[in-house]
Amino acid sequence: MIKSLNTEDTLENAGLTEEEQKLFSNARPQAYEPYPIKAVEDFANWARANSLWILAFGTGCGAIELRPLMTARFDANRFGVAGRPTPRQSSVFIIGGYASVKTLKRIIRSYEQMQGPKFVICLGICPVNGGMYFDSYNTINQFDQYIPVDLYITGCMPRPEALVAGIIELQKKIKRGECDGANRYVENFDWYKANQKKVIKSWDMPDYNW
Amino acid sequence: MNDMLDRLQRDFGISDITERKPTLTTLKVDKDSAERLIRELRDRENYTHLNFMTCIDYIEDGIFTLVYMLHNYDKQHGLGIHVDIGRENAEMTSIHTLWAQAWTYQRELREMYGISFPGSPRVNDDFCLEGWDQIPPMRREFDTKKFSQERFGHREGRHSEVPRDQMKVELYPNRGGDEK
């Protein structure tokens, strides 16, 4: 299901030293191709929608809304939502509100390490247009310039009920097969990279973090 | 309390002694005697705790005012020490030898205001801003809105309301937002 690796088209990894370049892969990311039979793809999407594992990375003030989500009161486990401590095991990245440039670097690193299919939910108004930090020297204003976003839950802050509604909406979207954020990232990879490098001046990591 | 202040006035030439509230007094001291004064307060007057240190940018007067907030647990009393330094080539004596945690504050002030603290450990390392290539952002001549729009872009469709006027419209819709 994966496109064959084109070895000639590789990444520069210019931010790494010569020694480090030997340690990291310079291959480009690969797009996910759906199963040729639609019923099989639909079944896979149904399975994905009911097993959303959230990366436990609180990237802003909105991360405080994720804690009650897992408690008995809101009980996100009934939607198949679980928290995972590492990006390698998670499929959903919830951006909890504002993202500073320093955090954005870690967000990109974590997002690229997540295995597909992966989905991004933006919480709060800040990832949309900057929110109350629209004129801040260190907070990005349009999150979808750097990482493809599948769903926005706006508000400042949205309550856990809104988050639950957002998760249900994400499940519907996944089942319809519309959550193609990871593929958009691969297809427009150079555009996303250029935007990321425009704001992150201290780029000392590989161009794609496998 | 007054004895102490009188003695400090005699020995260090402190001025502008202001009692802000019963538990907080502020005073002003010269740049050169600031470190000696703070050491004296810590060792002799039992102001053993450094609450925080910060900086205020008085761009009109061309000065930075550094604020050292000390605390005395026996008297439950706080003492704010204000030190004026020039904005151009701003430099201040490091107090990391008095409180080890002070070097974190000094590193932050170095990054946010561009004040140098010679001898302070790792003072030139990045703290919050990685790869910052502009003038320090908390200096008041730095235009954050302009910078934000240039670097991070601006999404159309944003508008803001004055909360007071907006609530009037919402509360009195029949009277066109008129309170009376």
How does the average pLDDT of chain A come out, rounded?
89
Nearest by CB to A140, which of B130, B134, B152?
B152
- The residue range of the domain holding B79 is 2-155
- CATH code: domain of residue B43: 3.30.460.80
> How much is the average pLDDT of A61-81?
90
> How much is the average pLDDT of A137-150?
92
- The residue range of the domain holding A143 is 34-199
How does the average pLDDT of chain B come out, rounded?
91
B141 touches chain A (CB under 8 A): no
In angstroms, the CA A25 to CA A32 distance is 19
In angstroms, the CA A81 to CA A69 distance is 9
Q: Cβ–Cβ of B154/A141 closer than 8 Å?
A: yes
pLDDT at A186: 93
> How much is the average pLDDT of A172-196?
93
Question: Which stretches of chain B score pLDDT less than 50?
Answer: none
Do the domain assignments include residue A195? yes
Do the domain assignments include residue A54? yes
Do the domain assignments include residue A22? no
- CATH code: domain of residue A155: 3.40.50.12280
Q: Cβ–Cβ of B153/A201 closer than 8 Å?
A: no
pLDDT at A148: 94
Strands (E), chain B: 15-21, 24-29, 49-58, 63-72, 77-86
Do the domain assignments include residue A135? yes
Q: Cβ–Cβ of A136/B132 closer than 8 Å?
A: no
pLDDT at A103: 93
Do the domain assignments include residue B177? no
pLDDT at A10: 85
Task: Please check the confidence at residue A6 and state whether its pLDDT lies above 70.
Answer: no
Between residues A5 and B69, the one the model is more confident about: B69
Task: Please check the confidence at residue A5 and state whether its pLDDT lies above 60.
Answer: no
Give the closest residue to A81 by CA, choosing from A190, A163, A179: A163
Distances (CA, A) of B124 to B87, B106, B118, B137: 18, 10, 10, 15
pLDDT at A2: 45
> Which of chain A's residues have a Cβ under 8 Å away from the Cβ of B154?
134, 141
- Cα dihedral sign, A27-A28-A29-A32: negative
Q: Cβ–Cβ of A137/B144 closer than 8 Å?
A: yes
B118 touches chain A (CB under 8 A): no
Task: Please check the confidence at residue A109 and state whether its pLDDT lies above 70.
Answer: yes
Do the domain assignments include residue B7? yes
Strands A81-84 vs A52-55: parallel, antiparallel or unpaired = parallel
A154 touches chain B (CB under 8 A): no
Whole-prediction pTM value? 0.87
Do the domain assignments include residue A74? yes
> Which of chain A's residues have a Cβ under 8 Å away from the Cβ of B144?
135-137
Task: Please check the confidence at residue A7 and state whether its pLDDT lies above 60.
Answer: no
Do the domain assignments include residue A113? yes
Tell me how many domains chain A contains: 1
Do the domain assignments include residue A13? no
B163 touches chain A (CB under 8 A): no
Do the domain assignments include residue B161? no
Task: Please check the confidence at residue A8 and state whether its pLDDT lies above 80.
Answer: no
Tell me how many domains chain B contains: 1
Between residues A112 and A8, the one the model is more confident about: A112
CB atoms within 10 A of CB A84: 16
Task: Please check the confidence at residue A4 and state whether its pLDDT lies above 60.
Answer: no
Q: Which two tokens stand for residue B8?
A: 């400090």
Nearest by CB to B151, which of A129, A199, A202?
A199
> How much is the average pLDDT of A118-139?
91
Q: Chain A: residue nearest B126 by CA?
A: A202
Do the domain assignments include residue B162? no
